[in-house]
Structure 1
């Protein structure tokens, strides 16, 4: 249930809202009722709140001031203002805070219920999109694994029927479309024609498709192109890089046009052999390989750049500079990425406790590990384990 906080210095109005609004039927729970903004802020600092219903006029801290402070703590908070005054200045300020409604007292219960229903519908849609987004990421990795290794470790499509439908839609939309012209344009480096071919290939994809479905179709197209160049041009399987990094890049685009532009640039860079990460000659590839190997073997320890430099007989400044030049990431950024990837893999094994996962990837302080994991994947280790 979504959590609601009600703030109103008028006791009768407060009790009326609690008593006459069917909160449970709306999928809502009143997590607190307070008479002033200061008490409301205490609730915000200690509990999660999805919706704030607040009177505009309260002693000490107005409802507007409370809303601004609360939004600073919880940017996704949904706001409803109630007031006995139809003051244009207050209405204007409420609009600037993107409030859902400005309800006048004496309150019409039906009006407040209608607004609450609109908010819960939006929250439900966002929750569903988040679930789809997570399911897409899981299905994407399994699809890549199947393509590159030929082995499926989990039947993700069976676990997520909507993802199964996405896969079927992707195949139906682009499976039979030939790739010859697209690949020829990529080999020629013809940006204009590549964009045109992309438009044609994805012409059947609608702009109003669910984002995760659109993302899956693009991923499926990348897999098809990799299959094509390995079959027809004898390129190695994996010429088109397919990993979590590519999945995240796909997910960062929310429109068909944005995805087409990214896809065209991404493929043109790959087909320019001088820029392809697999074929580009790197001056320090051997040294960087040794650094990464040392990092991977010592993830459970707090290994610093200085220690690695000493081990390989380099100065830390020089090693740090060539590492950034070759990988595009600093030493610290790279080792955090390695640790988070290892942690994500370990969390999929329910026999390993979360604190043991943290210890195995070099974190002794659980809150720091949890914060780092959430910054990387958008959820805590415990939330990830539940979904995985």
Structure 2
């Protein structure tokens, strides 16, 4: 039986989905439900379901970032979006990130059933590719989920970098940024290293040094001022990182600017 989780901030929607769809006919079982985005994410992390049907516009959640996080950390999970948000570009992005279907409320029964068939069909196909269960094995081939996972990872890293760019002068931890993009600290660290070739601290320092170089162009700012505005906790740390990244001390870098 494929394990199903339902998430929607409207309890009546969740209860309706549980009762209206004949899950057993599709080899499925609803194992858990949630009525909020954050609790839904925790539930998915705990249960690791095969299928998720969720709204994408819930209070306090960035829907596309949520979808990207789910696809990246659970690449084998099938996702259908059921939402009242009709924006076409939004739907396109959700599909590009790996959602199987994007349905608008109120959906027809035929649309819901087709979505379930599409998701279970993909799960059956994946099983066959792996030679699992009673399904006939299929020749090994590159699965489209690889592309979905890559797109999701790119989306997460882009959002993480944007957050760092906006908060570089604050105290930043890997956990802080991971929470903003709805993935675990470990997963974000892996994605950053894979796509940027840098650790989290190296990524943050790179952004801060770029900002510091801009501040150094202002002669009214002392080196200590530059360090503070760039987000470094103390001048000594700034000095070490700047020289490591740029190859020269911050003071010498400033002097070279005046000679240009």
TM-score where L is the length of structure 1: 0.34
Rg larger in 1 or in 2?
1
TM-score where L is the length of structure 2: 0.49
